[in-house]
Amino acid sequence: MSPIGQQEGGAGADGPSGSALSIGAVLDLLRPDFPDVTISKIRFLESEGLVSPERSPSGYRRFSMADCDRLRFVLTAQREHYLPLRVIKEQLDGRDSAGAPADPESEVGVAPPRRLGVVREPVSAQDLRPARPVRLTRVDLTERAGVTDAFLRELAGAGLVTPGAGGYFDADAAEVVAAARALCDLGLEVRHLRGFKLAADREAALAAQIAGPVAKGRDAGARERAADLARQFAALAVGLHAALVKTAVAQELD
């Protein structure tokens, strides 16, 4: 690690300690409430203009408590309200103009970020973050999802689940199998589920069209920004699908 990386990640990066915090100290403050936050994420949010820490004469970031509050606002708005960064920045700019604290749950000053109703109930962008890597054998998967090996083979034949390297399955495959089993328990057959897979593939292709160009950026946060955009798109797509199904079901019942 370079001297710069060591100092920036430490508790006392270049300059008076006081209220000036290094990026590592900020990380320590945020992680109890936001376990997934990283130094790269903080730098990315800075590159997007969500926070603007001062710089020491040597160029090291020096965060204030106000900067930490802004970061909490951003992370909370992403996790609880599922807002894109552009909208979050508008919220912050509005609070700055009103002189209100950067507290996403505060009722003082500008209203807190609105929830996106279309994704409120079905799924959030945070729900679409990659699951912790696991390796499940066929036996593990059938036991975890409560299905027979014959049912798993039928799902695989329909293209709903596919083993990865070495023939192992991941946690997402387990969710697919469990959901498929629940639908079949209601009277569907595996062949009826192929339409779900085709729709998911089409939406994934659309997400790739939107996020792909962003991922090709040369800055350090390009891939993370693209992944965040793809998850936001997916959450909105799932929410729209749920709303359309809800409307259609109500019409059928009427």
- Least confident interval from 14-28, 31-45, 57-71, 213-227: 14-28
Higher pLDDT, 241 or 103: 241
Residue 51 token pair: 């926070």
pLDDT at 152: 94
The predicted-structure confidence for 104-161, as pLDDT tens digits, reads as follows 444 333 334 333 333 344 556 565 665 567 889 999 999 888 899 999 999 999 999 9
Letter string b/e over residues 177-186, b meaning 16 or more CB atoms within 10 A of that residue's CB: beebbeebee
Residues 142 and 231 reside in one and the same domain:
yes
Would residue 124 count as lying in a domain?
A: no
Nearest to 42 by CA among 30, 54, 55, 32: 30
Q: How far apart are CA 241 and CA 237, in angstroms?
A: 6
Residues 179 and 83 reside in one and the same domain:
no
Q: The CATH number of the domain where 21 resides is what?
A: 1.10.1660.10
pLDDT at 52: 92
Nearest to 131 by CA among 176, 86, 91: 176
Q: In the 3-class helix/strand/coil scheme, how is the chain assigned residue by residue? A: CCHHHHHHHCCCCCCCCCCCECHHHHHHHHCCCCCCCCHHHHHHHHHCCCCCCEECCCCCEEECHHHHHHHHHHHHHHHHHCCCHHHHHHHHHHHHHHCCCCCCCCCCCCCCCCCCHHHHCCCCCHHHCCCCCCCECHHHHHHHHCCCHHHHHHHHHCCCCCCCHHHCECHHHHHHHHHHHHHHHCCCCHHHHHHHHHHHHHHHHHHHHHHHHHHCCCCCCHHHHHHHHHHHHHHHHHHHHHHHHHHHHHHHHC
Which of 42, 74, 101 terminates a domain? The answer is: 101
Would residue 74 count as lying in a domain?
A: yes
pLDDT at 70: 92
Q: How far apart are CA 176 and CA 168, in angstroms?
A: 15
Contacts for 139 with CB less than 8 Å, ≥ 6 apart: none
Mean pLDDT computed over 185-210 = 90
Q: How far apart are CA 190 and CA 158, in angstroms?
A: 7
Whether residue 207 is predicted with pLDDT greater than 90 in this model: the reply is no
Residues 244 and 167 reside in one and the same domain:
yes
Would residue 133 count as lying in a domain?
A: no
pLDDT at 19: 64
Residues 160 and 94 reside in one and the same domain:
no
Which of 101, 116, 150 terminates a domain? The answer is: 101
How many domains, the chain? 2
Residues 68 and 163 reside in one and the same domain:
no
pLDDT at 51: 92
Higher pLDDT, 236 or 11: 236
Residues 24 and 90 reside in one and the same domain:
yes
The predicted-structure confidence for 8-29, as pLDDT tens digits, reads as follows 444 444 444 446 899 999 999 9
Would residue 130 count as lying in a domain?
A: no
Residues 155 and 200 reside in one and the same domain:
yes
Residues 177 and 245 reside in one and the same domain:
yes
Would residue 230 count as lying in a domain?
A: yes
98 — pLDDT class (breaks 50, 70, 90): low
Domain hosting 8: range is 3-101
Which of 52, 74, 101 terminates a domain? The answer is: 101
Percent of the chain with pLDDT over 90: 26
